[in-house]
Amino acid sequence: MYAGAAAAAGPPRRDFISVTLGPEEAVGGGSYNNSKAWRRRSCWRKWKQLSRLQRSVILFLLAFLAVCGVISYTSMGEAWKSITNKSLDEQRTEQEIPGLKLANPAVLPAPRKADANHGDYPELSLQKPPKPPHVRRGPSNLQIKAPRRDVRLKTQHDTIRAIEELVEADKVEKTEKSIISWRGAVIEPDQSTEPPSSKIKEPEKPSSVAAEDQKEPVPINERQLAVIEAFRHAWKGYKDFAWGHDELKPLSKSYSEWFGLGLTLIDALDTMWIFGLKEEFEEARKWVANDLVFDKNVDVNLFESTIRILGGLLSTYHLSGDSLFLEKAKDIGNRLMPAFKTPSKIPYSDVNIGRGTAHPPRWTSDSTVAEVTSIQLEFRELSRLTGDEKFQKAVDEVMKHVHTLSGKNDGLVPMFINTNSGQFTHLGVYTLGARADSYYEYLLKQWIQGGKKENELLEDYMRAIEGVKKHLLKRSEPKKLTFVGELAHGHFSAKMDHLVCFLPGTLALGAHNGLAADHMKLAEALIETCYQMYAQVETGLSPEIVHFNLHAQKGHKDVEIKPADRHNLLRPETVESLFYMYRFTGDKKYQDWGWEILQNFNRYTRVPTGGYTSINNVQNPSNPEPRDKMESFFLGETLKYMFLLFSDDIDLINLDKYIFNTEAHPLPIWVPA
């Protein structure tokens, strides 16, 4: 601006801060006096000469700088702490298993073990940390808390109403609407959990009880709503025709009894909690409070009642914080203990929970290997919660004993074990399917549950996967699908149970926890195979067992089905693995595959009057031959994993904080002391 224009414009606008200096300072004159008193006086004089606006601005700037200072000091401290923790954990792991680097250390770094000695892992390869598919929102400490109880219940109520409205609206016209989910189920432990081995004194609190905060609600999407709708349909059948009994027979509108303990209801408790189905949950809770009685002269299978009843009660206790469920868990846990009174301490398969007696099946003194090695997560957690070590001691002894046994083939175990001698029987047959499956699953999961310190478990797991690769993996024709077959006395069979489809999820979980990267590659190949076991079949539903073609034949698919194997029991294993794969990769194709499966369950197994049924013939879409039975795991596992698969919220049962038992009941991962 030129001078004339400036004059014409009147006095200049002061939109800057000017500091007027006194005459002495302005000319740099006056005698130099640096005494403290003089400096103080002179500063004060200058301060007084400033306008009020100038003083405010300076004060504001000073305050702002102070706040910035405090913030950066705190976050540097946090960063420093996490760097220190991480390197401690890395040191520990490197010491225990040379060459193995955990991509995702235990929830907190575990203490070093002086005697850790696992030098024989030449094949373990280093792994880059897996890339998380989802970006966390907000600071992590805001994401691990549960809502306050009063808030939670209210929001849940609103949500249920919203769900109902939306489902209704959805029927009329397909809308793009989504609703805010009830986050009450998404409860992360906000306190350390300690392993029982660290000298139990006080009973533990559930993960959720002291939780206070809540992160941003994540909307429930349309696919999740469809799962809730399926659950409600199944629940309607159970409620109308089988309430309080073990399983619904949806066609005959009646029920079947296995143990007479309301198996479906107990298996479904935590599913209802996670889905936010408050009314259903409260009604079921009432039944547990008033009608669930374990003092009954009834034989139960140790494994089945542990994974479904004990596991279901423990996880519901953790999610809800309601001590009723812990009391019931203690009761059934104590009643199952007689099973361990055997000459070898390998438990019997059956227990009479009223009489306190246990026995093997009538025809043998053998137990199934998967059964005696897949009760550990639950009994160990029961010890941690009650302060009573006996539960953990009993199941740990089984694992330690099995660890030392001969008769394994490169880590693969036979299917039977004798309760007198404690030795494997029926040697020479190896499968990842029925009777052995969850042995492998629980090796990894116990290791994770205990804070990644129990090296024998990891060692057995890693060896077993090497055994799978060496003896059981083959590729089919024409699509070259990687599958897990069986070995019988040196003879390979291209037979794979649907049950084996737990394996991709377990492998992915191991890789997520820092195990070899090639486990993830194998998981990706196997989940494709499990999906094809559905996709290549006429109904889009997998049979119980498939045989893979090893040689290309014109007009033949990879998957062959024998007449005796073509039933579908509404099993969860494939959707379970799809859930893990989606969580760890973020690849939407896994959600799409799960969606196809849900639609086919709706198409071929849904009974109009309520409930879903297992079917006898997955190859006949016009008559899939309903079997008139809804297994409890359909509600406990299959629909729960579907719901989690369709969710984009990694904190909806965060896999770094929870470990699922083999019946899909989440239990907390212990934080090492």
Q: Which residues are annotated as a binding site for Ca(2+)?
A: 662
Q: E-assigned strands of 253-383?
A: 254-256, 299-301, 350-352, 357-359, 366-368
Shortest Cβ distance from residue 424 to ligand DMJ (Å)? 20
Shortest Cβ distance from residue 633 to ligand DMJ (Å)? 4
> Cα–Cα distances in Å, from 549 out to 482, 541, 555, 644?
11, 19, 12, 33
Tell me the residue nearest to ligand DMJ as measured from the CB. 662
What is the spatial distance between Cα 93 and Cα 83, in angstroms, rounded to a whole number?
15
Of 544, 576, 649, 651, which is the active-site residue? Answer: 544
Mark residues 189-208: x for contact with ligand DMJ by CB under 6 A, - for none.
Answer: --------------------
Shortest Cβ distance from residue 636 to ligand DMJ (Å)? 8
> Cα–Cα distances in Å, from 275 out to 230, 250, 617, 644?
12, 23, 31, 10
Q: Between residues 204 and 544, which has the closer beta carbon with respect to ligand DMJ?
A: 544
Would you say the C-alpha torsion 323, 326, 328, 330 has a positive or negative sign? negative
Shortest Cβ distance from residue 172 to ligand DMJ (Å)? 36
Please count the residues of this chain forming the interface with ligand DMJ, following the rule CB under 6 A: 8
* Continuous segment of H or E residues that includes residue 463: helix 455-467
Residue 111: closest CA among 90, 92, 94, 95: 92
Cα–chain-centroid distance for residue 7? 75
304 catalytic residue (yes or no): yes
DSSP-assigned letter for residue 260: S
573 catalytic residue (yes or no): yes
Kindly state whether residue 188 participates in binding ligand DMJ, applying the rule CB under 6 A.
no
Two structure tokens written together for 89: 């954990």
Shortest Cβ distance from residue 307 to ligand DMJ (Å)? 6
Q: Between residues 467 and 572, which has the closer beta carbon with respect to ligand DMJ?
A: 572
Q: Between residues 235 and 634, which has the closer beta carbon with respect to ligand DMJ?
A: 634
* Continuous segment of H or E residues that includes residue 559: strand 559-560
Residue type, 262: G
Mark residues 554-583: x for contact with ligand DMJ by CB under 6 A, - for none.
Answer: -----------------xx-----------
Kindly state whether residue 259 participates in binding ligand DMJ, applying the rule CB under 6 A.
no
Of 96, 204, 524, 573, which is the active-site residue? Answer: 573
Of 204, 437, 441, 649, which is the active-site residue? Answer: 437
Shortest Cβ distance from residue 160 to ligand DMJ (Å)? 28
What is the spatial distance between Cα 368 and Cα 425, in angstroms, rounded to a whole number?
10
Shortest Cβ distance from residue 263 to ligand DMJ (Å)? 10
Binding residues: 662
Quickly list DSSP for 473-528. EEE-TTT--EEE-EEETTEEE-EEEGGGGGHHHHHHHHHHTT--HHHHHHHHHHHH
The residues facing 546 across adjacent strands are: 496
Shortest Cβ distance from residue 163 to ligand DMJ (Å)? 27
Q: What's 97-121 look like in SS3?
A: CCCCCCCCCCCCCCCCCCCCCCCCC
Member of 391, 633, 634, 658 binding ligand DMJ (CB under 6 A): 633
Member of 156, 373, 431, 438 binding ligand DMJ (CB under 6 A): 438
> Cα–Cα distances in Å, from 586 out to 276, 314, 516, 519?
24, 30, 20, 17
Of 304, 389, 456, 592, which is the active-site residue? Answer: 304
Mark residues 496-515: x for contact with ligand DMJ by CB under 6 A, - for none.
Answer: ---x----------------
Member of 496, 663, 668, 670 binding ligand DMJ (CB under 6 A): 663
Cα angle value 390/378/256 (rounded, 5°): 120
Member of 380, 662, 668, 672 binding ligand DMJ (CB under 6 A): 662
Q: Between residues 278 and 308, which has the closer beta carbon with respect to ligand DMJ?
A: 308
188 catalytic residue (yes or no): no
Q: Between residues 92 and 627, which has the closer beta carbon with respect to ligand DMJ?
A: 627
Kindly state whether residue 495 participates in binding ligand DMJ, applying the rule CB under 6 A.
no
Kindly state whether residue 612 participates in binding ligand DMJ, applying the rule CB under 6 A.
no
Task: List CB contacts of 424: < 8 A, sequence separation 6 or more.
Answer: 369, 405, 406, 407, 408, 413, 414, 416, 417, 418
Q: Name the residues that contact ligand DMJ, by CB under 6 A.
A: 438, 499, 571-572, 633, 637, 662-663
Catalytic residues: 304, 437, 544, 573
